[in-house]
Structure 1
Amino acid sequence: MSGANVVAGLSLDRLENISRHLDERYIRTGKFPGAVTLVARRGEIAWVKAQGLMDIERNKPARRDTVFRIYSMTKPVTSVAMMQLYEQGRFLLDDPVHKYIPSWKHLRVYDNGIYPNFITRPATTTMRIRDLFTHMSGLTYGFLCRSNVDAAYRELKLDGSRDLTLDKLIEQLAEMPLEFDPGTAWNYSVATDVLGYLVQLLSGQSLDDYFREHIFEPLGMRDTGFQVREDQMDRFAACYLYQPGDQMALQDDPETSRYRERPNFLAGGAGLVSTVDDYFRFAQALCQGGELDGHRIIGRKTLEFMRLNHLPGNQDLPGLSIGAFSETPYEGNGFGLGFSVKTDVAKSRTNGSVGEYGWGGLASTNFFIDPVEELVMVFMTQLIPSSSYPIREELRAMINGALV
């Protein structure tokens, strides 16, 4: 293999498999509108490509600087923000949540019944801040459509209606039963929105101001935020919804999108928009131990701590999960403080390294960091839900296949 086609130990010819695969399998067949993919190693961007359309209705090609809704890829940003405050001694992971949210002192657990006539029992364990980071809090998400509790979340619009605020969310969750005793199971949930509330409480800043001052500005992430500015509008992608038979329907039109205004609800779990290069700067800072271009956002040791598997007994997700949904395959993956963490490569049935960590978003965006290979991948598209196609595993197969 000639050295001319190798960058940072990655074969560019083999990385072209990604663009071929996306084009033939997903874009030309109408499964995805378009995509932007970035692969970097040892701090160097080896390969980046924009393909297909960012807005089918207006026939606008995807660009490298396209602005995407990243949904749950907001969670690692919120988790880093919260751990910055941990480094300042503002809280401990074992602190009860009710130390900061007094109305949560006497939380109850669902027994049976349908909202508003729930039958509940007192929780036998105390919810700790670490349970919010690891999704072991007993909270849930309305969109999971699994239980009577998440049906109540949908009815009360706790996943982020226009009228919701962080204060209102905290108030209403105090009245809601938990799915299980905190610390006893894993369930994807609004827990990271609660962390966003705690960031505001502990820092005395609104979540958008805190992110901007402590993460986005230091890292030069000029295109990331809770709303799409007027000067970004021509780069803002449309979002699509999967339809049976491998079809798509428009879900959110950029021209009329709620992302054009600053939201009332600053969702630390799902609210940000970003670009492939902006999110790469965040991921690369993490890959380099918390620092990029002389700007440190988190301590090296703190980050090492965050990307350990924090599930009890070093279990993986199948051992603890009560729901079927996650932004990562379950087997061979544990969970750290804000990321999934690969614990067993063979068991995960997807190529990679032990210790690889990352997360994805509802509209099929995804990123991972492999500290062993110093490898970073950021993938952006806009198709809801992320479980429509196995693109994340396919990308890992192709990217790891390009290592020389």
Structure 2
Amino acid sequence: MTALNPGSPEGSGMSGAALQRIDDHLKRRYIDAGRFPGTQLMVYRRGNLVHNSVQGFADLERRVALKDDTIFRIYSMTKPITSVAFMILVEQGLVALDEPVHKYIPEWKNLGVFQAGTAPAFMTKPPTRPMQIIDLLRHTSGLTYGFQQRTNVDAAYRDKQIGTLDPAGTLDSMIASLADIPLEFSPGEAWNYSVSTDVIGYLVGKISGISFEQFLKERIFNPLGMADTDFLVPADKAQRLAACYNATVGGMMSARSPDAKSGLTLQDDPAKSPFLSLPSFISGGGGLCSTAADYLTFCQALLNGGERGGVRLIGPKTLALMTTNHLPGNRDLPDMSRSMFAEATYAGIGFGLGFSVTMDPAKTLIAGSPGEYAWGGAATTSFWIDPAEDLITIFMTQVIPSSAYPIRRELRTMIYAAITESNL
């Protein structure tokens, strides 16, 4: 586990009592109520870890307590790491954001836009312009996720197990399959949460000349000391992997649930989890496991302009570009999204190159700062970085779906309420 520098909340302009109220809220409303098995919350401000609370269980069935070094499935919190990896290649001059994707994936050159029909008899039209690299990073590519369950294109993804929690095949086979499925829309015309970041992971491997997972180890994980972050949990760490659960919301219990009181159904048993071995599909969009401490290390590098402890991932100007809203016309997600699901849904939130970006806190109706950037994962993990307030928050639990409860809104509200000395 990464070494941390603890400090008092008051010494960093925050209220210890207010932070304790968040722990009480999590325990009473979520853990004791059977909504979450356990939680870990880290708050880092002004160079100090001012709050690190660990509550409840990592594994309810075996009554294993959640600990500081518990390993979590971070799912889509993989996306910012993959995006940073790609921007390392951009900084090296090996690829540019406005290049067409078919330069690197020739079989996609003639991808059409869905008009009608079902697989394999789709009717399509040509896109208004080719898909560009930037479309992959900001999810304006026209690709989708199988779990969206909105269109015939989504259904074609599900048929091939593309963009699901248990994707089939390999990165290469996904790229080949997508050549036969039309785009949802012309690139740049809308925002749709999708396998775009998995494609970015594929391109990292193709452009760098080494495997995507090896690139992450050599350029990010090993230099930063993120020893517990990987696409698998090795045997000597298996006992640290948390169980993952499906949420049952509104008192309606799933038929699979043996315990009508808990509101949680076991989704992935850590004793026989697929994360215990290296998957055939290396997902840059959602495949990593990590600890709160490791992910905080990654976030510290970002908050510090791309560098931590003498290790520079990317330059501050590149990071500034990544954390600027790149949605066409400076629109926000609700205005441009066709997605049935995203890890951020508020008005006033745009999207950069791998992160959601707060443009106008007043429109979100939640306390925050312009320029705050964030994302989350399917099992309700989340993070945000607020450069203006010199603040990082990491939240970990293991409950699917992330939309089951308004925990992210509540955490933002309560953590910003704990600030006693604003930098603004």
* TM-score normalised by length of structure 2: 0.93
Residue 376 of structure 2: which of 314, 338, 360 is its match?
360
1:190 matched to which residue of 2?
195
Unpaired runs of at least 5, structure 2: 1-6, 252-262
Cα distance between partner residues in 2 of 1:243 and 1:5: 35
Aligned positions, number: 402
Matched, 1:68 2:72: yes
Residue 173 of structure 2: which of 146, 162, 168 is its match?
168
Matched, 1:261 2:277: yes
Pairwise CA distance, 1:163? 4.0
Cα distance between partner residues in 2 of 1:95 and 1:325: 28
2:60 matched to which residue of 1?
56
Matched, 1:345 2:361: yes
2:3 matched to which residue of 1?
none
Matched, 1:110 2:126: no
Structure-to-structure mapping, 1:3-402, within 5 angstroms: 6-159=10-163, 161=166, 163-246=168-251, 247-402=263-418
**1:364–1:385: 8 Å Cα contact kept in structure 2?**
yes
Pairwise CA distance, 1:227? 0.1
SS at match of 1:373: coil
Cα distance between partner residues in 2 of 1:372 and 1:167: 41
Letter in 1 for 2:391: L
In 2 relative to 1, CA 346–163 (structure 1 residues): closer, same or farther, beyond 3 Å? closer
Pairwise CA distance, 1:9? 1.2
**2:160–2:168: 8 Å Cα contact kept in structure 1?**
no
Letter in 2 for 1:241: N
SS at match of 1:386: coil
In 2 relative to 1, CA 309–4 (structure 1 residues): closer, same or farther, beyond 3 Å? closer
**1:115–1:152: 8 Å Cα contact kept in structure 2?**
yes
Cα distance between partner residues in 1 of 2:370 and 2:109: 38
SS at match of 1:352: coil
Pairwise CA distance, 1:116? 2.2
**1:329–1:348: 8 Å Cα contact kept in structure 2?**
no
Q: What CA deviation, in whole Å up to 9, does each residue of 1:159-178 have, x standing for no partner?
A: 25464100000001111100
In 2 relative to 1, CA 244–186 (structure 1 residues): closer, same or farther, beyond 3 Å? same
In 2 relative to 1, CA 7–145 (structure 1 residues): closer, same or farther, beyond 3 Å? farther
Cα distance between partner residues in 1 of 2:85 and 2:316: 14
Cα distance between partner residues in 2 of 1:5 and 1:349: 25
Cα distance between partner residues in 2 of 1:295 and 1:323: 37
Q: What CA deviation, in whole Å up to 9, does each residue of 1:8-41 have, x standing for no partner?
A: 1111111111110100000000001111110001
**2:163–2:194: 8 Å Cα contact kept in structure 1?**
no
Query: Which is further off, 112-121 or 37-46?
Result: 112-121
Pairwise CA distance, 1:392? 0.4
Cα distance between partner residues in 2 of 1:139 and 1:240: 28
Q: After TM superposition, what 4+ stretches of structure 1 lie above 3 angstroms from structure 2?
A: 160-163
Cα distance between partner residues in 2 of 1:159 and 1:257: 19
Cα distance between partner residues in 1 of 2:167 and 2:129: 33
**1:162–1:264: 8 Å Cα contact kept in structure 2?**
no
Pairwise CA distance, 1:207? 1.3
Q: What CA deviation, in whole Å up to 9, does each residue of 1:107-156 have, x standing for no partner?
A: 10111112222211222211000000000000000011111111110111
Unpaired runs of at least 5, structure 1: none
**2:162–2:168: 8 Å Cα contact kept in structure 1?**
no
* TM-score normalised by length of structure 1: 0.98
**2:378–2:400: 8 Å Cα contact kept in structure 1?**
yes
Letter in 2 for 1:92: A
Pairwise CA distance, 1:58? 0.3
Letter in 2 for 1:196: G
Cα distance between partner residues in 2 of 1:231 and 1:44: 30
SS at match of 1:175: coil
Query: Which is further off, 59-68 or 320-329?
Result: 320-329
Q: What CA deviation, in whole Å up to 9, does each residue of 1:342-394 have, x standing for no partner?
A: 00101011111010001000000000000100100000000000000010010
SS at match of 1:387: coil
**1:162–1:263: 8 Å Cα contact kept in structure 2?**
no
